[in-house]
Amino acid sequence: MKLVRYGRPGKEKPGLIDNEGKLRDLSGVIADIGPDTLSAKSLAKLAKLKHASLPPVRGTPRFGVPVAQVSKFVCIGLNYSDHAAEAGMPLPKEPIIFMKAVSCLSGANDPVMLPKGSVKTDWEVELGVVIGTMARHVSEKDALNHVAGYCVVNDVSEREFQLERGGTWDKGKGCDTFGPVGPWLVTRDEVPNPQRLGMWLDLNGERAQTGSTRTMVFPVAKIISYASRFMTLMPGDIIATGTPPGVGMGMKPPRFLKPGDEMRLGIDGLGEQRQPVVPFKL
């Protein structure tokens, strides 16, 4: 299934994309798509519905973050060897974990706002993993059983804040609008192998990133198992698993986002995002 939350910010309704690509309303069945609806049992009930009988949604509404009540937005750094090389950083021996503030979450096609004082805002297409059942000290063998589904994430990053202002990476990662997620959550049954997904990002119509989850340093199962040693992963938590090469800071000369730019990005089977870049505004 492809599950969505559609409508104005803060007023999103649950929905799904049927086999013909049409948006159907789920608000008569569930109140929202969140922690209580992401278990295998709950998702199985939704899958058994006759999707053609659900009310169609007219027009082209906005898609919000496909999961409500996200408690943690966990990220993995330098998880592609060629991206580590372009960043001039050594390949990690263990997964690098950092956090994005949940206040940065935004819809797949919402504008990305440059933060006040930004000079080096960058892009990163990433595979997002949505946790479906609590994971605490889980094995790699069992890790994927805790996944509800997968989605596209743009890990927007302000590099000066991240790398040149001292402290941890987090301050360059959690600015408002820096976490576009979606357009939909694709349930685990439709992604039999998360390590075989092509991914790409275009800036102003020109290809910037091309990659595949095949080349991850640490695969999804390893990431979930590893992270679950240090924090309890809860239903609805999102893990962004790293980006392939082609980010702005790795270009020669470096290239960063400016107002008027447009990013378009996608992952095989998980849909596409499109974000205009806008200046800072309170």
Peptide bond into 253 cis (omega under 30): yes
Contact 22, 54 (CB under 8 A): no
Place of tokens 């007219």: 58
pLDDT digits (tens, 9 = 90+) for 168-211: 899 999 999 999 999 999 999 999 999 999 999 999 999 999 99
DSSP H or E stretch at residue 142:
helix 140-143
pLDDT of 254 strictly over 80: yes
First CA to last CA distance, the chain: 37
Q: Which residues lie below 8 Å from residue 64, measured CB to CB, with a gap of 6+? A: 5, 6, 7, 9, 12, 107, 182
State how far the Cα of 238 lies from the Cα of 128, in Å rounded to an integer: 6
pLDDT, tens only, 59-118: 999 999 999 999 999 999 999 988 888 878 788 999 999 999 999 999 999 999 999 999
Q: What is the pLDDT confidence band of residue 46, given thresholds at 50, 70 and 90?
A: very high
Distance CA 189, CA 214 (A): 19
**% of the chain at pLDDT higher than 90:** 94
Write down the architecture of domain 67-278 according to CATH.
Alpha-Beta Complex (3.90)
- Residue 247 backbone class (left: φ over 0; alpha: ψ -120 to 50; beta: rest): beta
Tell me: the pLDDT tens digits for 226-251? Answer: 999 999 999 999 999 999 999 999 99
Token couple for 65: 């973050």
Two structure tokens written together for 216: 């991850």
Q: What is the pTM for the complete model shown?
A: 0.96
